[in-house]
Amino acid sequence: MGEEVRLRAVVAMAQGMAAAQSPRESWRAAALGACRALSGTFAALSVWERERGRLRVLVNVGERAAGEVEFPEDEAYPVNQFPEITEFLHEQWVGGGAPRAWVETASGAVEGGGYCHQRVAALRRRGRGCCVVAPIVLHGRAWGELYVARPGGAEVFGAPDAAFATVLAAVAAAGIAQTERLEEARRLAFTDALTGLANRRAVDMRLDEAIERHRVGGDVVS
């Protein structure tokens, strides 16, 4: 993939996340953008839940395997099953380094990372040949990871793909930060700062919406 094509892919991903109206839409845009940019067939975005010691999947896109849903409610993996997560999502840049992506294959060969039995086993179980994993850093802290995979028999990701995935993870982080700011702005606009309850603006908006539903479909409003 040429530099110009990759630049267009980055721009498309950023635009998709900027147009998102909710966190879910933003997550989906990030995963889809990365999947297309890296010529993958499957991608996932996950968040690192430190207090629970697990990596929780927020969205799966592309060719999903049996049991994988787009927005899973309870798909999560204990971090102790994936020791490289701690290394790359936390320790890698504590000493002044920078987060970087790595590649793993169903054969166990690794480009820039350490062998992870659980990750390799998952690739084999789901019929995938390789994956590239990119840490996402938000506000200076590890937030989660961006994961893109290709099927068995497809060209294996290489070092240039891992470097590009690191860039895509940074774009994803910027988009997620923007979504968080928008969500906070909405919260401040429609809730009372003291009580946390809906304010007059929120009530007026919801009332207008309810009256419109009554006008269009006859819904009861009380």
CA-nearest of 56, 114, 60 to 87 is 114
Phi, psi (rounded to 5 degrees) for 178? -65, -45
- Taking only the tens of pLDDT, the chain with its 222 residues reads 677 888 888 899 999 999 988 899 999 999 999 999 999 999 999 998 988 888 899 999 999 999 899 999 999 988 776 666 556 555 554 545 566 888 989 887 666 555 466 777 888 889 999 999 998 988 878 889 999 999 999 999 999 999 999 999 999 999 998 887 766 666 666 676 677 677 777 676 777 777 888 888 888 877
- Give the count of alpha carbons within 13 A of 28, CB side only: 13
* 3-class state of residue 126 by DSSP: coil
Query: Selecting from 3.30.160.20, 3.30.1950.10, 3.30.450.40, 3.30.70.260, what CATH number does the domain 3-182 have?
Result: 3.30.450.40
- Token readout for 94 is 């504590």
DSSP sequence for 164-217: HHHHHHHHHHHHHHHHHHHHHHHHHHHB-TTT-SB-HHHHHHHHHHHHHHHHHH
* pTM of structure: 0.76
Q: Is the dihedral of CA 112, 137, 144, 96 positive or negative?
A: positive
